[in-house]
Amino acid sequence: MRFLFKTGYNHDIKLAKHGGHLFWYGLLCLVLVAAPLLVSEYLLAQLTFILIYGVVGLGLMLLAGYTGLFSIGHAAFFGVGAYAQAVLTGMGWPFPFALAVGAVLSAAVGIVVGLPALRVKGIYLGIATLSFGFIVEEVFARWESVTGGNAGKTVGPVRMFGWTADSGASFYFVCLAVAILATLACLNLLRSPTGRAFVAIRDSEISAQSMGIHLARYKTLSFAISAALAGIGGALYAHAIRFLSPDQFNIIQSIDLLLMVVIGGLGSIHGAFLGAIFLIGLPQAIGAVKDFLPDAIGQAPGLKAVVYGTVLIGFVMFEPMGLYGRWLKVRTYLQLFPFYRKGLFKRQKTFQKSDRLK
C-alpha cells in the first residue's frame, strides 16, 4: 500500500517512504484512538492540549522551520481563531463552518502581517510581528461588544449537525481528527513545488529568486498558511478552555509557541508535536518535583521561567536540531551499532557553530 502525492512535474512522490512508516504510524494512530480507554481523564485532557498545540506548531514550523521567517506574535493568530470560533458558534454556526471561517480570517490577518516580511527579515521581522501581537491583544481587550473585553467570553462545547461533544473523550476525537488532517495537509504541501519553494527561500533568498521563485508571493503564502493553522488551533483551544480573555494571547504565549518549535526541532513535522509534548509536559514535571525541592527554590514564583530559559539555552548550545535532532542521532547510533564512530556528527556541530556566528 502506497500513499502518493501528485506534483506538477508528472511524477509521484511517496507520502510514506517505506512499509515501516506505514506500520509504525498506523500503530501510533491505533494507540491514539484507544487512548480514552488507556489513560485517565486528566491525562486525556493533557493529550488533547498536545494535539491542539501540535496543530499550531505545524503552522509555526512551516513559517519558521521551512521558510525561515520567525514570528514572535503568533499568539495573535491563535487568538483570532479562538475569538472567531467563540463568536460564530455563539451565533449558532456549526463547528466545521465556524472553524473554516476562523481559519480564513486568521489567514487574512496573516497576509497583512506578512507584508512586512517582504522588506525586512531576521530580528526586524521579529520586532514587526511582536508589535502586531501587542496591537491585537489591545483590540481583544477594547472591542468589548465582540470579545467581551477583560471580562472575558464564554464558549460552548463543539456542536455540529445535531451532535454535541459534551465529554472529554468526544472532544479528544475531534482534536485528533483535526490534527491528523492538518499533518497530512502539511506533509503534502512540503512535497509539492510550493513546499520546495519555502525551503529554497529558507536556505538562500538570492538562490531562490534566481531559480524563478517569487519571494513576495511565497513569503506571504507561508504567513497565510501558518496563521490559518494557528487559527484552527485557537478554535480548538476555545472549546477546550471554554472561557477566553485577552491575557491568554499575550507575548508570553507567543514566546511559548516559538519555544515549542525550537525545542521540538526546526524543519521537521515531528518537531511540532515533540515540542507540544514538551510545552505541556514540562509544567507537569516541574509541579511533580517542586515539593521535593527546598522551599526557597520550589516555591519561587519564577521557577518555571528559569527552567524554560535553562532548557532553551541548553538546546541552542548543545542540540540546535531540538528533540527530533536528538532522536535522529539516537536512531543513527542504533542503526550503525557496533560500527558507530564517535565523531560522526562532529562536522555537523562545526557547521552549526559557524552558522550561529553569521
pLDDT at 109 over 60: yes
**Nearest 10 degrees: CA dihedral of 319, 325, 329, 335?**
180
Average pLDDT of the segment spanning 315-330: 82
pLDDT higher at 52 or 349: 52
> Of residues 21 and 166, which shows the higher confidence score?
166
pLDDT beyond 50 at 135: yes
Task: Give yes or no for a cis peptide into 338 (omega within 30° of 0).
Answer: yes
d(CA 78, CA 234): 5
- CA torsion sign for 123, 125, 126, 132 is positive
CA 336 to chain centre: 32
Give the span between the Cα atoms of 126 and 130, in whole angstroms: 6
The pLDDT of residue 16 is 61
Cα distance between residue 70 and residue 64, in whole Å: 5
Distance separating alpha carbons of residues 167 and 190, to the nearest angstrom: 35
pLDDT for 20 = 66
* Percent of the chain scoring above 90 in pLDDT: 31
Per cent of the chain over pLDDT 70 is 87
Residue 231 has pLDDT above 90, yes or no: yes
**What's the rounded Cα separation, in Å, for the pair 175 and 172?**
5
Would the pLDDT of 207 be above 80? yes
Q: What is the 3-state secondary structure (H, E, C) of the chain?
A: CCCEEECCCCCEEECCCCHHHHHHHHHHHHHHHHHHHHCCHHHHHHHHHHHHHHHHHHHHHHHHHHCCCCCCCCHHHHHHHHHHHHHHHHCCCCHHHHHHHHHHHHHHHHHHHHHHHHCCCCHHHHHHHHHHHHHHHHHHHHCHHHHCHHHCEECCCEEECCEEECCHHHHHHHHHHHHHHHHHHHHHHHCCHHHHHHHHHHHCHHHHHHCCCCHHHHHHHHHHHHHHHHHHHHHHHHHHHCEECHHHHCHHHHHHHHHHHHHHCCCCHHHHHHHHHHHHHHHHHHHHHHHHCCHHHHCCCCHHHHHHHHHHHHHHHHCCCHHHHHHHHHHHHHHHCCCCCCCCCHHHHHHHHHHHCC
Give pLDDT, residue 327: 81
What is the structure's pLDDT at 317? 82
What pLDDT sits at residue 151?
Answer: 85
Specify the pLDDT at position 339.
Answer: 64
**Does residue 47 or residue 13 have the better pLDDT?**
47
Give the global pTM: 0.86
14 — pLDDT class (breaks 50, 70, 90): low
